[in-house]
Structure 1
Amino acid sequence: MSREKINKLIEIENQNLPWFVKEYLHSKSIVPYSAVTLYEYAKEFRRFFEWLISEEIISAPRTLQIELEDLEELRKEDVELYKSHLMHSPKVGTVKDSRSRSFVTVQRSITALRSLFKYLNTQTETKNNQVYLSQNVFLKIENVKTTKTLQERSRSIEKKLLLDDEAILFLYYIDQDYENTLTSHQAKAAFKRNKIRDLGIIALFLGTGIRLSELVNMQVSDLDTLNLEATVIRKGGFKDIALISSLFIDYIVQYEEARQRLYAPDFQEKALFLTTYKGAAKRIEPSTVEKMVAKYSSSFKTRITPHKLRHTVGTQLYKKTNSLLTVSHQLGQTGTSATAIYTHIVDSEQRDAMNDLWNDNE
């Protein structure tokens, strides 16, 4: 989905949201949060407000007319009831109607609302130098717990990773063998046109572990191949440096040198990765990258996403360093809890070592 379309969808959601939510969304757009994140948050806010009205917890006739005073009066049991509603009621209005929401989906709702209430409770100011809300009811709400253990999650993830030499073989496959799987002249021509770019994108994913949003938002000036570094904007809007593995740098340099020749962008187009739209070069869209990764990976091994390439880097780095702190720094995580899953992915190596511990290999 294009950025212009997402911004239009945000405008539509804004029409049904109270003024203080619009203020929140504007403040986060400056951070900046990605347009996709803001759109998802806006939908979560609308759904929450619609539910409050439908349950008669708030008496406002429309979501647009909800006031700060209404939120001030919310109690823990009100929000716990909404959390229960998300966990147990079926989805409606989507292609997955009547299916239960995953714990990830429910947690995303809680995270979005927690962010809004934190803003209203700590980051706002009235004319009297007071915050908009005197209490934050979401401080009392616990996160949603998954029924899967880390080990179960890690095993399901491991099946979709490119471990050990598979990452190198994946790039080699795209470079040397993928074209032979294509039957039409049109498909071969499209592949050849973007081959150098596609290899550069996947090499940068595998060489850094950066997120999809971080990659597509990179500017030409953010890439420093001489020092093997990529400047990215992390979640939360802070700038960070991701180290690039020298193992993948050749593919990245090849694209950097060919960018102008391949796409002939205007002088003002500073995006690192480009595509051609209606004869003009423009920044590549996240959906285009997702489809591209899925296409190559399906042909090579199994369909994967850019996020699985990120997991691949995290797993390999942990195997080499045995340090969650190192992994969290490379991946731009604010703590080590999100990277703990990698310790379980490499458990098989630990088991093999223990099984072989007392064997005489001489």
Structure 2
Amino acid sequence: MTSKNSSDYLDEETQHLPWFIQEYIQSKSIVPYSTVTLYEYAKEYRRFLNWLYQENITKSKPRDVTLNELDQLTKQDIEFYKSFLMRSPREGTSQNGRKRAFITVQRSITALRSLFKYLAAQIDRQTSQPYLSQNVMLSIESVKTGKTIQERSRTIEKQLFLDNEAINFLIYIDEDYQNTLKSHQALAAFERNKVRDLAIIALFLGTGIRLSELVNLQVGELDIVNMEVTVLRKGGFKDTSPISSVFIDYLEKYSSLRQQLYQPEANQKALFLTTYRGTARQIEPSTVEKMVAKYSEPYKIRITPHKLRHTVGTQLYKKTKSLLAVSHQLGQTGTSATAIYTHIVDQEQRMAMNNLWTESEDEKKDR
């Protein structure tokens, strides 16, 4: 997603979908879901409708599928589709390539669950009846990985940058990464965006915010003085996230050089920018994902922005042993007690974030 923004890609993708799925996407954009999430959902819906057509389960091509055709789907149809996904090679690989990851298949099922839940609840104005008479997805189980919690934890931990590894990762990018580059062109590209890249990774590690939250940040939402950032969380609510003090210098440097480095127009308020055909524009999620992978692979292991977020959650829990603090910092709504203890958590959370990447005296003694 370089020549166009994510909204353009979403608009193009929805043109291939029937009116009721377009209506669903429109309703979720108001919530709002991130444009990136909706774009991935739209691609999944087109893949699903194509499969139904190719398997002769429906008679219509994706754009022309009717509500009645979806209402006739059975549990067996969906199970066959799930099996198809699990047997299919990953996108961009040959037929004999690696199979889709369990989590990728589960994302597909999650997208379909969201759609069918909407269609089974939405009332048709003409008939005063729901669009669908049944929600076939209610009977579909989640994809199981076959791993125990302990196994999954060990696998995930290898992909996290805990304790000194997080700070050393930034030092590596700043001082050593350039030594891996083989051409003057690659070195020039690295140096051109180095300050921005360091700031992005510092903000991930300093807050644990989501990729969509980071790329949609506006200039005025980063508060260097108070060491906090205001983000739009899932569900459409604004939230203020403390920033670990150890990473503030990277953000302050980028903020002071943003105008000089990218020369944006006065109306370009996106915090993190890239240049396309000489014009500064908001950085795309895919650009950030590639950037994180590019730096992390030679440092330790190829990871994603989500693993940086998971790093912060794991490190914060190690420091506080508080699921409430982790839930609050990451902007998750799964902990019911969050609202009751918000004031206490805010203060404890700020202290924990400031000490997140430093050793306490007890920790030094335990070494």
Report the AA paired with residue 49 of structure 1. Answer: L
Aligned residues: 335
Query: What is the aligned partner in structure 1 of residue 321 from structure 2?
Result: 322
Q: Indicate conservation of the 8 Å contact 2:120/2:135, yes or no.
A: yes
Query: What is the aligned partner in structure 2 of residue 256 from structure 1?
Result: 255
Query: What is the aligned partner in structure 1 of residue 344 from structure 2?
Result: none
Counterparts of 1:200-215 in structure 2, within 5 Å, are 200-215=199-214
Report the AA paired with residue 70 of structure 2. Answer: L
The CA deviation at 1:204 is: 0.4
Report the AA paired with residue 206 of structure 1. Answer: L
Distance 1:119 1:3 in 2: 33
Distance 1:75 1:185 in 2: 58
1:70-127 deviations in Å (ceiling 9; x for gaps): 222333333233333333x334874242443322122112111111111112244424
Residue 124 and residue 203 in structure 1: after superposition, are their counterparts in 2 closer, same or farther (change >3 A)?
Answer: farther
Q: Does 1:31 align with 2:31?
A: yes
Report the AA paired with residue 142 of structure 1. Answer: E
Residue 6 and residue 73 in structure 1: after superposition, are their counterparts in 2 closer, same or farther (change >3 A)?
Answer: same
- Give the alignment partner of residue 95 of structure 1, picking from 76, 80, 93: 93
Report the AA paired with residue 19 of structure 1. Answer: W
Distance 2:72 2:294 in 1: 51
1:55-83 deviations in Å (ceiling 9; x for gaps): 4443x333333221222233333323333
Query: What is the aligned partner in structure 1 of residue 72 from structure 2?
Result: 73
Residue 123 and residue 237 in structure 1: after superposition, are their counterparts in 2 closer, same or farther (change >3 A)?
Answer: farther
Distance 1:78 1:183 in 2: 51
The CA deviation at 1:176 is: 3.5
Q: Indicate conservation of the 8 Å contact 1:275/1:282, yes or no.
A: yes
Query: What is the aligned partner in structure 2 of residue 339 from structure 1?
Result: none
Report the AA paired with residue 157 of structure 2. Answer: E
The CA deviation at 1:23 is: 1.2
Residue 246 and residue 54 in structure 1: after superposition, are their counterparts in 2 closer, same or farther (change >3 A)?
Answer: same
Query: What is the aligned partner in structure 2 of residue 158 from structure 1?
Result: 157
Query: What is the aligned partner in structure 2 of residue 104 from structure 1?
Result: 103
1:308-346 deviations in Å (ceiling 9; x for gaps): 21121111101001122321221222326xxxxxxxxxx
Secondary structure in structure 1 of the residue aligned to 2:281: strand
Residue 97 and residue 239 in structure 1: after superposition, are their counterparts in 2 closer, same or farther (change >3 A)?
Answer: farther
- Structure 2 alignment gaps of length 5 or more: 336-365
Report the AA paired with residue 255 of structure 2. Answer: E
When the two chains are superposed, the root-mean-square deviation of aligned CA atoms in Å is 2.7
Report the AA paired with residue 283 of structure 1. Answer: Q
Distance 2:78 2:163 in 1: 46
Query: What is the aligned partner in structure 2 of residue 167 from structure 1?
Result: 166
Identity in percent? 65
Counterparts of 1:1-362 in structure 2, within 5 Å, are 1-2=1-2, 4=4, 6-7=6-7, 9-58=9-58, 60-87=59-86, 89-91=87-89, 94-98=92-96, 99-182=98-181, 184-335=183-334
Secondary structure in structure 1 of the residue aligned to 2:4: helix
Secondary structure in structure 2 of the residue aligned to 1:4: coil
Distance 1:218 1:145 in 2: 35
Residue 76 and residue 246 in structure 1: after superposition, are their counterparts in 2 closer, same or farther (change >3 A)?
Answer: same
1:218-265 deviations in Å (ceiling 9; x for gaps): 111111222222122233433322221112112111211221222221
Report the AA paired with residue 40 of structure 2. Answer: E
Report the AA paired with residue 77 of structure 1. Answer: Q
Residue 279 and residue 43 in structure 1: after superposition, are their counterparts in 2 closer, same or farther (change >3 A)?
Answer: closer
The CA deviation at 1:206 is: 0.6
Report the AA paired with residue 300 of structure 1. Answer: Y
Distance 2:178 2:53 in 1: 56
Q: Report the TM-score when normalising by structure 2.
A: 0.81
Q: Indicate conservation of the 8 Å contact 1:126/1:132, yes or no.
A: no
Distance 1:292 1:56 in 2: 42
Distance 1:248 1:92 in 2: 36
Distance 2:56 2:280 in 1: 51
Secondary structure in structure 2 of the residue aligned to 1:231: strand
Report the AA paired with residue 97 of structure 1. Answer: Q
The CA deviation at 1:144 is: 1.3
- Structure 1 alignment gaps of length 5 or more: 337-360
